[in-house]
Structure 1
Amino acid sequence: MHDHKSEFLKRTTNITKNVSCGNQLTFDELKNLNAGEWFVEKDPFCTVHLLTENQKNDAKMQPIPSLQELLELAKQHNTKVIFDLYHPEHCDDINDTMDTVTTILRSGIDQKLIYWLPPKNREYVKNATDFIQIYGNESEMFQENGSHLNVKYSQLTIDKIRKFQEDNIKVNLYVVNERWLFSLLWCAGASSVTTNSCQVLNEMRNPDWTMAPSVYRMIWILVDVGSILTMIGLFVYQWKTSDSRHREGRTNVLLWSNQEITSLV
């Protein structure tokens, strides 16, 4: 969660009901917060109706998990975890990093399941662990001889994503919530995406619509040519129709004039 300062924890807990809001809370205070009731009440992904009554009641009582509990869950399901640490201004970030790394190592989780993103203290983490290092920009990644990139999807072109794929560079793109965008990046060769719509994208076994670039270009050219020919045809038809009407008008005038001459004679 990127909540911070006065909004700390307000979005996903009942902190305003039970605890004075602030970013200096003990773990015991955090554990006493309800972090599940809001989900059932607001139904952010329109999925609550899929839960049974027992599951809803269970969801309503979810607390904030500790890092150790999160790692145990990830280890149980062999799930990757990406770390992006945020530090308060007064916090000693090296100690925070060391505590986090120690907790991860103590959990016994496969270190290849840990993706480490924070650039601060990266050298310490690289020397102390076998975590997968993720970089937030290309220059840092190439400088560190890395092979994992995490950037906003709009920062990379389709050709760039394909080039990274050819070079065996893993690319994670954020934030991708729509099926069509996920399908496009999937076809381009993105390794993974960060999303708020897990329940939607997780159901996709294939891109919604795929087409080879050569086929797309051919269709594009044919449609353009067809459009041009149609416009030319309409122009010619309009020109001939207009010319025919013009000639018909002149004929009527001549006939009328001839009738007048005949009447006068």
Structure 2
Amino acid sequence: MGEAVESHLHVLSACKIFIMMTFLVVSAAVFLCPLAICSPCITSNLPPKPALIGHRGAPMLAPENTLMSFRKSLECGVVAFETDVQLSKDKKPFLMHDCGKNFLLRTTDVKDKFPGRDGSNNFTLQELKTLNAGKWFSRSDPFWTLSSLSEEERREADNQTVPSLSELLVLVKKYNVSLIFDLKNENNSTVFQSSDSFYTTETINKLGISPDKIWWLPPEYRHDVMKMEPGFKQVYNKQKEMLMDGGNFMNMNFSSLSAREISELRKSNVSVNLWVVNERWLFSLLWCSGVSSVTTNACHLFKDMSKPDWHLEPNMYKGIWIATDIVSLLLMIGLFLWQRRRLTGDWSTGIY
């Protein structure tokens, strides 16, 4: 009987030691886990705030790719407009994102004005200008932001038309901003003819736009464009191609580059623009990472930010971490002593 009791006590003692060791290991891990946290926003050398590029203007506040949308983006202090250029039947560049089967259907009243017709090659610029490019925005409220607009702004949105590239270039010149764009056609969103780049470049030159304000993005016929207009800034989405051409401007999806890769590119004096960034937390993270600019639908959310969310100086971070650990440790010791005293009291009074 005595041996059984002694064996039971040994097992109980071993369990207590095991529980205590597990508790200490877990506690140490919790206390030390901030050492493993690596964030670009824990820094004393905060990079400059990324410049803002209006993605099709300011599409949360006005119908995308309309003059109202681009004017709204100017209120955010954007440094560049991002848009999509297509050619009409009479070879006039105009602004429209959707192509192929969806051409004009989402953002205009083409079904009502020209039933049975489709494709950019079937419409002259004059015909495109008769389409309403704003009422869809009021009907669908794609970003749930319509309530933030005044009645006057809603009426303005309802009366937007399909802009020509020339009309946008007037804003580019007047407000001294840059322009970055994709070239599209009715068959494919990335493949276009050399004439597309020729007519587009010709339109730009006719307006007397400073060449350095044009950020040329389409990779097809890039070298032909470089010969026609060497002053354009060439923008790349592939680093290998950029290095081969001796370029220094990358434009990529925000998920394509890590903070380390962004830092390395910036150290090599490469401008880095990432798209499409619409949330404050993501903008803050990219700001800390050192990106040059972001393309965004939500320029109004970022324009007044004076610093990234959650940015901390390293000493401040360490101070918060150490203070939290000390308070936690004191609480644990206090609970341990309270529990020990309570159990001692229970044993001394015979309550157990």
* TM-score, normalising length: structure 1: 0.79
User: Alignment partner for residue 281 of structure 2, among 157, 180, 183?
Assistant: 180
Letter aligned with residue 103 of structure 2: F
Deviation at 1:204, TM superposition (A): 3.0
Q: Give the direction of change, closer, same or farther, for the CA distance of 1:223–1:133 in structure 2 (3 Å limit).
A: farther
Q: Give the direction of change, closer, same or farther, for the CA distance of 1:252–1:30 in structure 2 (3 Å limit).
A: closer
Which has the larger displacement, 4-13 or 168-177?
4-13
Letter aligned with residue 197 of structure 2: T
Partner of 2:202: 102
User: Alignment partner for residue 153 of structure 1, among 239, 244, 254?
Assistant: 254
Partner of 2:22: none
Partner of 2:242: 141
CA contact (8 A) 2:197 2:221 kept: yes
Q: Give the direction of change, closer, same or farther, for the CA distance of 1:216–1:111 in structure 2 (3 Å limit).
A: farther
Deviation at 1:29, TM superposition (A): 2.4
| Higher share of residues assigned strand | 2
Give 3-state SS (helix, strand or coil) of 2:322's partner: helix
Deviation at 1:223, TM superposition (A): 7.1
Give 3-state SS (helix, strand or coil) of 1:99's partner: helix
Is 2:147 aligned against 1:51? Answer: no
Q: Give the direction of change, closer, same or farther, for the CA distance of 1:148–1:243 in structure 2 (3 Å limit).
A: same
Alpha-carbon displacement from aligned partner over 1:218-240 (angstroms, at most 9, x marks no partner): 25753785598479648855974
Alpha-carbon displacement from aligned partner over 1:143-170 (angstroms, at most 9, x marks no partner): 2221100111112122222232222211
Q: Which has the higher contact order (CA 8 A, sep 6+)?
A: 2
Give 3-state SS (helix, strand or coil) of 1:81's partner: strand
Partner of 1:38: 136
- Inter-partner Cα distance in structure 1 for 2:304 and 2:104: 30
- Inter-partner Cα distance in structure 2 for 1:137 and 1:245: 73
* TM-score, normalising length: structure 2: 0.61
Structure 1: segments with no counterpart, 5+ residues: 254-265
Deviation at 1:252, TM superposition (A): 6.0
CA contact (8 A) 2:99 2:186 kept: no
Question: Aligned pairs, how many?
Answer: 250
Partner of 1:164: 265
> Higher Cα Rg: structure 1 or 2?
1
Runs of 4+ residues over 6 Å off in structure 1: none
Alpha-carbon displacement from aligned partner over 1:75-115 (angstroms, at most 9, x marks no partner): 11111110211244488511111111111111111111111
Taking only the aligned residue pairs, the percentage that are identical comes to: 36
Alpha-carbon displacement from aligned partner over 1:201-251 (angstroms, at most 9, x marks no partner): 234344344223x347625753785598479648855974696488559x5
